[in-house]
């Protein structure tokens, strides 16, 4: 959510900054801006351009002589004040000598604004960020590092920020507290960004700042330090990532209409990477060395608590069901955004699992920190090596999904489910899961990439159904037990990219209220696997059909729907424990093609961001 990019070196900064900002568009934003340092000092040394709208609007409106070899840029997602030109970043002090871009929220901004106003400062924006620029400008410290430290010493909240100062032309100072920030190393040039996507075309040698850490970035390198200006030993390392993965999905070799489409079709290969080397066919077990746990420690676990947000929360519910089924350990999932605010009881024999594609989701990160503070053991299921959650956890399962750019998660979600399946097998095999059942599940997992491919091959069939659903103003998604989190994820996808109201219910709850809303204008998407509850699920379909509610049923081949009038979407059968992920895939395609039919910007849905890095 929001994005930062910076450059200092010998090249002209504006093209690099604009390119970096365009690669951060997937994070969600409503305005953009940049500032460059021109020759000389004083107010004229900093040139600022910013405006509401897209990065391309900013680029089209740049003055002809907008040049400089150092600069910082920003894409803003509005929190304090509406999305307009004035509230866009960068923000400057009254003397126009300091420029700041900032991700995060300043909790005591109102009090600081009041104090600045009382001191005679004229605030021009509605933002919390503007106070940072004024505080830096007021500092009497001799160095830019000291000025930034002075400002941060009176600020409460979260920040990832970058600062330019007209009187210190050779450097950018950056700081992190709760919002990600990366320093990229080039050849006599340096970069800063809030997301690796902004840097990979120029460098994959990076250093990731920790919370409470600052850095001075010059063309020749960087140094890191704490708030008391004591040095920290932060070294850059090479990130194993293919820069081509971040190329525009509609260009070059990809040829897709969007990143989401590209990423959906990458799911068979992503699933193969996730499972490679982790399936033990001989013993019907899983290899998860990254958990850093011995069998004795697995046996000591008495409960599993899974924490995630959005789609990660729903796949966590699927994972909790897997763990209870296979390991016979009580397990549940909870929204990470609520967890720490209810003063949770942290138990020594509970395994906590944090799930996040980016590894930077602020609610999940704060939940992990709360657990660690109270002595709990927590592992992570994350897709970004070196991310904040990965560094905070005691161990983890790397998702190997590859870069995921679209806001709506597809391949990362699928690999999260596979991670939970592997964890459930690992936990089960040190308990009561037989070797025969272990082998049954390992064999089924090995077959999943091929089954995913079979489902994706039916895309045009799903597209036709999606175009019909797109015309409805509201939809129900229903499922029972294993099918309910599938329904929740389906409703989430439909809401976030088609902007149609979609609500998920347990099928068993229909007669406890929702059935009153069934009518011809309200379609229901039902999850009906071949399992012990098939007959009850089919009975619910008849109740909906009796009230003339249109039905789309995601089911298995051979399931008898009792002659009910419904559009049927069959998926291949796996083992019952693994069926939920295969039944999720058609819902991705339905949401995608509904949004495509409605003409929406699929990769950048309104009001949403890929990585939620502020509470």
Same domain, 447 and 553: no
Report how many domains make up the chain: 3
Question: Is 64 one of the annotated active-site residues of the chain?
Answer: no
Domain boundary among 189, 214, 241: 241
Per residue in 134-149, pLDDT tens?
A: 999 999 999 999 999 9
Whether residue 468 lies inside any domain: the answer is yes
Same domain, 204 and 352: no
Residue in this structure with the two tokens 């229901």, named with its chain if needed: 524
Same domain, 446 and 490: no
CA distance 559 to 574: 14
Same domain, 205 and 312: no
Q: Is the pLDDT of residue 246 over 60?
A: yes
Mean pLDDT of 387-398: 90
Whether residue 609 lies inside any domain: the answer is no
Q: Give the CATH number, domain containing residue 205.
A: 3.60.20.10
Whether residue 176 lies inside any domain: the answer is yes
Domain boundary among 241, 269, 284: 241
Same domain, 383 and 491: no
Whether residue 251 lies inside any domain: the answer is no
Per residue in 198-222, pLDDT tens?
A: 888 899 899 989 889 999 999 999 9
Whether residue 612 lies inside any domain: the answer is no
Same domain, 403 and 313: yes
pLDDT reported for residue 253:
45
Q: What's the pLDDT band for 495 if we cut at 50, 70, 90?
A: very high
The proportion of the chain whose per-residue pLDDT surpasses 70, expressed as a percent, equals 95
pLDDT reported for residue 609:
67
For residues 169 and 148, is the Cβ–Cβ distance under 8 A? no
Whether residue 252 lies inside any domain: the answer is no
CA distance 18 to 74: 9
Q: Is the pLDDT of residue 470 over 50?
A: yes
Same domain, 406 and 441: yes
Mean pLDDT of 412-433: 96
Whether residue 28 lies inside any domain: the answer is yes
Give 518's DSSP letter: -
Q: Give the CATH number, domain containing residue 327.
A: 3.40.50.10490
Same domain, 12 and 101: yes
Question: Is 439 one of the annotated active-site residues of the chain?
Answer: no
Q: Is the pLDDT of residue 2 over 90?
A: no
Same domain, 236 and 377: no
Same domain, 163 and 51: yes
Range of the domain at 77: 3-241
Check 2, 309, 493, 495 and give the catalytic one. 2
The first and second tokens of residue 443, run together, are 């064999």
Same domain, 215 and 269: no
HEC profile for 390-431? HHHCCEEEECCCCCCCCCCCCHHHHHHHHHHHHHHHHHHHCC
pTM, to two decimals: 0.82
Continuous segment of H or E residues that includes residue 91:
strand 91-92
Whether residue 280 lies inside any domain: the answer is yes
Domain boundary among 399, 422, 456: 456
For residues 424 and 323, is the Cβ–Cβ distance under 8 A? yes
Check 47, 50, 604, 610 and give the catalytic one. 610
CA distance 190 to 184: 6
Same domain, 429 and 473: no
């Amino acid at each position: 959510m929001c994005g930062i990019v910076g450059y200092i070196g010998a090249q002209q900064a504006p093209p690099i900054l604009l390119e970096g900002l365009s690669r951060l568009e997937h994070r969600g934003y409503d305005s953009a801006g940049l500032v460059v340092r021109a020759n000389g000092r004083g107010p004229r040394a900093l040139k600022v351009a910013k405006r509401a709208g897209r990065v391309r609007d900013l680029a089209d409106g740049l003055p002809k002589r907008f040049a400089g070899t150092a600069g910082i840029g920003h894409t803003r997602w509005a929190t304090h004040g509406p999305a307009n030109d004035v509230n866009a970043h960068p923000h400057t002090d009254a003397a126009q000598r300091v420029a700041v871009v900032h991700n995060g929220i300043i909790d005591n901004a109102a009090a600081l604004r009041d104090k600045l106003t009382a001191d005679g400062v004229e605030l021009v924006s509605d933002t919390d960020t503007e106070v940072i620029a004024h505080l830096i400008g007021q500092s009497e410290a001799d160095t830019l590092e000291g000025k930034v430290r002075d400002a941060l010493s009176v600020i409460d909240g979260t920040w990832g920020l970058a600062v330019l100062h007209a009187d210190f032309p050779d450097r950018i100072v950056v700081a992190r507290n709760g919002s990600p920030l990366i320093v990229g190393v080039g050849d006599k040039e340096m970069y800063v960004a809030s997301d690796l996507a902004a840097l990979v075309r120029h460098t994959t040698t990076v250093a990731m700042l920790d919370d409470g850490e600052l850095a001075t970035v010059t063309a020749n390198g960087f140094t890191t330090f704490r708030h008391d200006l004591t040095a920290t030993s932060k070294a850059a390392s090479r990130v194993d990532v293919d820069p081509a993965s971040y190329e525009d999905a509609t260009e070059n070799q990809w040829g897709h209409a969007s990143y989401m489409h590209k990423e959906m079709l990458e799911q068979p290969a992503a699933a193969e990477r996730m499972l490679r080397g982790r399936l033990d066919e001989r013993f019907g077990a899983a290899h998860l060395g990254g958990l850093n746990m011995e069998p004795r420690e697995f046996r000591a676990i008495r409960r599993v608590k899974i924490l995630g947000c959005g789609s990660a929360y729903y796949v966590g519910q699927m994972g909790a069901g897997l763990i209870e089924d296979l390991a016979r350990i009580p397990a549940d999932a909870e929204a990470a955004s609520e967890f720490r605010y209810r003063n949770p009881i942290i138990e020594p024999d509970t395994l906590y699992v944090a799930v996040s594609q980016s590894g930077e989701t602020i609610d999940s990160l704060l939940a992990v920190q709360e657990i660690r503070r109270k002595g709990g053991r927590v592992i992570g299921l994350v897709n970004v090596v070196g991310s904040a959650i990965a560094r905070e956890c005691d161990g983890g399962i790397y998702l190997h999904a590859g870069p995921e750019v679209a806001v709506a998660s597809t391949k990362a979600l699928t690999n999260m489910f596979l991670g939970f399946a592997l964890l459930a097998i690992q936990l089960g095999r040190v308990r009561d899961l037989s070797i025969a059942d272990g082998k049954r599940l390992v064999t089924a997992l090995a077959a999943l990439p091929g089954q995913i491919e079979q489902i994706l091959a039916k895309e045009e069939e799903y597209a036709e159904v999606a175009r019909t659903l797109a015309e409805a103003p509201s939809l129900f998604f229903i499922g029972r037990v294993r099918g309910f989190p599938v329904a929740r994820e389906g409703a989430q996808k439909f809401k976030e990219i088609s902007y149609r109201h979609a609500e998920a219910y347990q099928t068993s709850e229909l007669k406890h209220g929702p059935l009153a809303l069934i009518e011809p204008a309200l379609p229901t998407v039902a999850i009906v696997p071949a399992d012990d509850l098939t007959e009850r699920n089919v009975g619910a379909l008849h109740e909906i059909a009796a009230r003339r509610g249109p039905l789309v049923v995601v089911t298995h081949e051979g399931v008898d729907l009792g002659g009910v009038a419904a559009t049927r979407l069959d998926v291949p059968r796996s083992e019952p424990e693994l069926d939920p992920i295969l039944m999720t895939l058609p819902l991705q395609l339905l949401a995608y093609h509904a949004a495509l039919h409605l003409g929406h910007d699929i990769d950048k849905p309104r009001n949403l961001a890929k990585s939620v890095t502020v509470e």
